[in-house]
Amino acid sequence: MFKHISLGNTQSEVRRSLKDEGFKVSKTGVSKILRNKVYVGKIVVPELDDEPLRVIDGIHDAIIDEDLFSKVQDIIEGRANHKKMHSNKSRLRDELPLRGVVKCSKCNEMMTGSPSKGRHGKKYFYYHCNFCHQERIPAPKANALIEECLGNLSFTENANTIYKMMVKELLSGDENELKKKKLEQEEGIKNTEARITKTQDLYIDGKIDESTYTESMKRYRDSKLKMEESQEAINRTPSRYREWLKTGVNAMKNLSEQYKSSNVQGKQNLLVSIFPENFSISEKNCRTPRINDVLRYILQINNELTQKIGENFSSNLEISSLVEPGGVEPPSKQGRTGTSTCLSYDWFLT
């Protein structure tokens, strides 16, 4: 079985071959056999209490060599990843960026999209609801409506400046947390180095045997390496505020262009971020209970600066709740960090 897989046969082909020879094995059974480490002389010891899961040498002989077993695992994983990537790619079409993210305006169920052939064989793409079957919108019309809606979500440079100050204040807590973690790693590395030196002295003085020395040194060096890797990761982590300034501000200045220049996955991520709750579309407008808190704050700031208080942010976007208790200023740094900080950073840097 392992040899057949290594030569390029699929699990289904192997299963059919076994069936022809009189063996009954399910699809799951074939997969379990091919992944079972027992055949290479190993035993999997499950985790128990504080002991983690371990793979140890068994007392039985291996019937599959480790090179063949590893090759088969690579083949299985490679096929699984390819299948997953192909499945995701097949659902993402440039003509249907709203498929799977927009809901039906009639029944509030998720809409899908598909092409329909005209008389002369030309494909026409539509968004449609497979639940109530009452909504069917030409994809070009719906796509244009979304772009127009995003184009209306604009603001002045003054509002942008005010919002920069707000985000800087909100993100300062993340900067302080990184500094704290960095100091902890530095202190941990220093203490581990001291233990390594002490262990070496104990071994030289004959106070510990070679086995204890070897085991202790391995443990300390592994621990030090992990802390050094963690410290390096922290050093590589850019200032969230600086990164947001480089990417987030420019993206917010022109959401429509940001949307148009993104691939399908990027467009969907942007829409889900802007409209975190139910987002529906009809032939005339878009509708949602609320928009992203971050975007709503800056748009409200902009409306106050331009004396447009009370007006909708977009003529073709209906928002059921536009009232923000206490004005546009976040109630407190602690109260807003969980929403505004996360949204403002992750939205534009993913």
The residue ranges of every structural domain in the chain are 2-91, 103-146, 150-158+241-349, 174-238
Helix ranges (DSSP H) in the chain: 2-6, 11-20, 27-35, 66-91, 139-152, 157-204, 210-236, 240-243, 249-253, 255-261, 264-274, 293-305, 333-336, 342-349
Taking each helix axis from N to C terminus, what angle separates 157-204 and 293-305, rounded to the nearest 10 degrees?
140
pLDDT of residue 56: 84
User: Residue 248 carries which DSSP code?
Assistant: I
Per DSSP bridges, beta strands 280-281 and 103-104 are parallel
CB atoms within 10 A of CB 239: 13
pLDDT of residue 250: 56
Residue 286 main-chain phi, psi, to 5 deg: -110, 150
- Quote the CA–CA distance of 246 and 230 in Å, as a whole number: 25
- Quote the CA–CA distance of 36 and 57 in Å, as a whole number: 13
Cross-strand pairs, 125: 115
pTM of the model: 0.47
The amino acid at 60: H
pLDDT of residue 84: 44
- Quote the CA–CA distance of 279 and 319 in Å, as a whole number: 10
pLDDT of residue 311: 47
Please give the CATH topology (third level) of the domain spanning 2-91.
Hect, E3 ligase catalytic domain fold (3.90.1750)
User: Which stretches of the chain score pLDDT less than 70?
Assistant: 49-50, 52-53, 79-91, 154-157, 159-160, 162-164, 166-175, 236-253, 294, 301-314, 320-350
